[in-house]
Amino acid sequence: MKLLALPAFSDNYIWLLHDKGRAVVVDPGQAQPVLDALAREQLQLEAILVTHHHDDHVGGVQALREHTGASVYGPARERMPEPLTRLQGGDRVQALGLDFEVIDVPGHTAGHIAYFCRVANDMAPMLFCGDTLFSGGCGRLFEGTPAQMLASLDALAALPGATQVCCAHEYTLANLRFALAVEPDNGDLIRYAALCGDKRSKNLSTLPSNMALELKINPFLRTRCADVIAAAERFDPSARGPSGHLAALRQWKNQF
Ligand code: ZN
Ligand code: FE
């Protein structure tokens, strides 16, 4: 089983998983990077998994379906390119002999879903979380509330620490600059920011991350930590409770 991050647009990743000549892609905002990879690796596309309705995640779906005949899966409650199998939390998708578990993660969009793949003997579990969780950050709240995003992030945070976090954008450095403003004394964060800076200077991807690391460095997963609470309340003195602190962090990041 191989996992590839195909760059698309300026900072998207289309995740491609393949084994024995068959492939699955997640959030193909563009068809061409996927068609190129399929040709290069001589793969048959079996399934297309989509996390939410934004164009940079679905733009390549129709062309890929026409070229490959792949089945399309996506969120039950969003406007999507038809036809597709509509999914919600608790549903499962089988592809490449793997089992993908669907998790509802509203917040960035109202019907956003994530895909968690627990079993793959030769690799760590994988999470395809679209624009909900980024390394060092989270998605903007376009359609959901801070409380929804908090519950979504809590559900993801409960996954095994070894889980590979496959986010849909290379936003890591900008996120870490903000995270360091929130927690300037977090040693894990300082070390990770240096490591990621080094990777990006060599034009390497910072992803996938993993959940154990995100719990140590991502302020949006740390809204119950004293230093993060204190920083959120410096930005918005009226912020109370984990979702209030998350709302304050999100607002602060939007104008950072
Ligand atoms: Zn999006
Ligand atoms: Fe996006």
Q: How far is the CA of 238 from the centre of ligand 2 (A)?
A: 31
| 245 among known catalytic residues | no
Position 211 scores a pLDDT of: 98
Q: Which of 18, 53, 54, 245 is catalytic?
A: 54
Q: What is the pLDDT along the chain (256 residues), one digit of tens a residue?
A: 999 999 999 999 999 999 999 999 999 999 999 999 999 999 999 999 999 999 999 999 999 999 999 999 999 999 999 999 999 999 999 999 999 999 999 999 999 999 999 976 778 999 999 999 999 999 999 999 999 999 999 999 999 999 999 999 999 999 999 999 999 999 999 999 999 999 999 999 999 999 999 999 999 999 999 999 999 999 999 999 999 999 999 999 999 9
Q: How far is the CA of 47 from the centre of ligand 1 (A)?
A: 20
User: In this structure, are residues 188 and 215 in contact, taking their beta carbons and an 8 Å threshold?
Assistant: no
Q: How far is the CA of 24 from the centre of ligand 1 (A)?
A: 20
Position 120 scores a pLDDT of: 60
Residue-wise over 88-108: b if at least 16 C-beta within 10 A, else e? eeebebebbebebbbbbbbbb
Q: Which of 18, 27, 56, 245 is catalytic?
A: 56
Q: How far is the CA of 135 from the centre of ligand 2 (A)?
A: 14
Please report which ligand is nearest the Cα atom of 26: 2
Q: Which of 27, 104, 112, 131 is catalytic?
A: 131
| 67 among known catalytic residues | no
How do residues 231-252 score in pLDDT, each as one tens digit? 999 999 999 999 999 999 999 9
How do residues 62-104 score in pLDDT, each as one tens digit? 999 999 999 999 999 999 999 999 999 999 999 999 999 999 9
User: In this structure, are residues 51 and 168 in contact, taking their beta carbons and an 8 Å threshold?
Assistant: yes
Q: pTM score, two decimals?
A: 0.98
> Cis bond leading into 83, ω under 30°?
yes
Q: How far is the CA of 208 from the centre of ligand 1 (A)?
A: 18
Position 242 scores a pLDDT of: 98
Position 123 scores a pLDDT of: 84
Provide the residues around ligand 1 (an ion) whose CB is within 5 A. 54, 131
Count of other CB atoms within 10 angstroms of residue 221: 23
| 54 among known catalytic residues | yes
| 57 among known catalytic residues | yes
Q: How far is the CA of 211 from the centre of ligand 2 (A)?
A: 20
Q: Which of 52, 53, 112, 245 is catalytic?
A: 52
User: In this structure, are residues 152 and 138 in contact, taking their beta carbons and an 8 Å threshold?
Assistant: no
Q: How far is the CA of 184 from the centre of ligand 2 (A)?
A: 28
- Listed by start position, the domains of the chain span 2-254
2-254 CATH, one of 3.60.15.10, 3.50.50.60, 2.40.30.10, 3.30.420.40: 3.60.15.10
User: In this structure, are residues 36 and 108 in contact, taking their beta carbons and an 8 Å threshold?
Assistant: no
Q: How far is the CA of 118 from the centre of ligand 2 (A)?
A: 24
| 131 among known catalytic residues | yes
Cα 219 from Cα 223, distance rounded (Å): 6
